[in-house]
């Protein structure tokens, strides 16, 4: 795949999945702009790793819940030498609250939606507006979850927010298709990294694998491959689609 000359922006860029996506897209020739809440000193070595692919890379510390900060990040990326207007928009930032419906607080619920849905809205809207203003095509990829279509009583806010994110993606796909901007979602199951690993830490790897029909966790690199597939310029007619990669979990009733 050749993404040379394109620029990708990735929210949650210093997380396990965000880093894997950044490496995959950089390896395919894309310049990369990362956004995350972590301090800049945690990005330095990784930026140098990305630049090893002969691409430009930058990092911005920002809170995805802050719409003005998100817009500033996108416009800074567009004006940065070696980067330019981002045409690959990867909405990856997310949080999960492990609290049942009866226990979760309104503040926890609102915060999860602010990150998982509101942050994606701000990021995708600002980036799409910039593309449209400049008459450029683009690709938006949402990192969702199989939890959008399978309830889990331990993480109700996550399930509901990912379901909302999925519908947001489909609405965006309808509105942006005429502007040459496609929208897709990658929906992983149990990933052996990031939020998924933290959420499942009460279970052993063997217990988790026993519930998955294919018998293995998903690696972050596998998620990155699917994101890259949706970014492939040859993939022109796939929009509003969801790539479910859950190892067959959706086919069973083993998960609660």
User: Which long-range CB contacts under 8 A does 35-40 form with residues at least 24 apart?
Assistant: 35/9, 35/10, 35/11, 35/59, 35/60, 35/61, 35/62, 35/64, 35/70, 35/73, 35/93, 36/11, 36/12, 36/61, 36/62, 36/93, 37/61, 37/62, 37/63, 37/64, 38/14
Exposure of 54 by Cβ count < 10 A (0-12 exposed, 13-18 middle, 19+ buried)? exposed
Write down the pLDDT at residue 216: 87
- Cβ atoms of residues 24 and 8 within 8 Å: no
**Does 256 reside within a domain?**
no
Assess if residue 2 is contained within a domain. no
Q: What is the mean pLDDT of each run of 10 residues along the chain (256 residues)?
A: 95 97 98 98 96 98 98 97 96 96 98 98 98 98 95 94 98 98 96 72 75 89 97 95 93 68
| Rounded Cα gap, residues 246 and 212, in angstroms | 8
Query: What CATH number should be reported for the domain holding residue 164?
Result: 3.40.50.720
Q: Is residue 132 part of a domain?
A: yes
Nearest to 141 by CA among 11, 37, 50, 29: 11
> Is residue 26 in a domain?
yes
What end-to-end distance do the CA atoms of the chain give, in Å? Answer: 38
Q: Residue 15 has what DSSP assignment?
A: S
Residue 95 lies in a domain: yes
pTM of the predicted model as reported, rounded to 2 decimal places = 0.95
Taking every pair of Cα atoms in the chain, the longest distance, rounded to a whole number of angstroms, is: 51
For residue 11, what is the enclosing H or E element? strand 7-11
* Segments forming the whole domain that contains residue 118: 7-251
Q: Is residue 154 part of a domain?
A: yes
- Locate the DSSP E strands across 101-216: 138-143, 181-188
Contact 24, 228 (CB under 8 A): yes
Q: Is 70 inside a domain boundary? A: yes
| Distance of alpha carbon 201 from alpha carbon 199, whole angstroms | 6
Specify if 87 maps to a domain: yes
CA distance linking residue 95 with residue 84, whole number of Å: 29
Q: What pLDDT was estimated at residue 162?
A: 98
pLDDT of residue 204: 74
Burial 81-96 (b: 16+ CB within 10 A, else e): eebbbbbbbbbbbbbb
Q: Domain count for the chain, please give it.
A: 1
Q: Is 61 in contact with 40 (CB distance < 8 Å)?
A: yes
């Amino acid at each position: 795949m050749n993404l040379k000359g394109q620029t990708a922006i990735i929210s949650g860029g210093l997380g396990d999945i965000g880093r894997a996506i950044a490496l995959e897209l950089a390896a395919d020739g894309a310049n990369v702009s990362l956004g995350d809440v972590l301090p800049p000193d945690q990005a330095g070595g990784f930026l140098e790793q990305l630049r090893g692919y002969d691409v430009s890379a930058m990092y911005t510390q920002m809170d995805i819940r802050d719409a003005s900060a998100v817009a500033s990040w996108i416009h800074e990326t567009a004006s940065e030498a070696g980067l330019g207007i981002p045409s690959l928009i990867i909405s990856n930032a997310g949080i999960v609250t492990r609290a049942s419906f009866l226990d979760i607080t309104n503040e926890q619920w609102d915060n999860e939606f602010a990150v998982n849905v509101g942050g994606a809205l701000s990021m995708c809207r600002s980036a799409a507006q910039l593309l449209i203003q400049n008459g450029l095509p683009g690709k938006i990829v949402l990192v969702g979850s199989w939890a959008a279509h399978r309830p889990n009583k331990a993480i109700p806010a996550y399930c509901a927010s990912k379901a909302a994110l999925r519908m947001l993606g489909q609405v965006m796909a309808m509105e942006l298709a005429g502007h040459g901007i496609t929208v897709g979602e990658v929906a992983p199951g149990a990933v052996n990294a990031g939020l998924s690993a933290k959420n499942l830490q009460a279970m052993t790897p063997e217990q988790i694998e026993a519930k998955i029909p294919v018998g293995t966790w998903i690696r972050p690199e596998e998620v990155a491959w699917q994101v890259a597939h949706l970014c492939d310029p040859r993939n022109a007619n796939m929009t509003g689609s969801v790539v479910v990669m859950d190892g067959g979990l959706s086919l069973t009733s083993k998960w609660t």
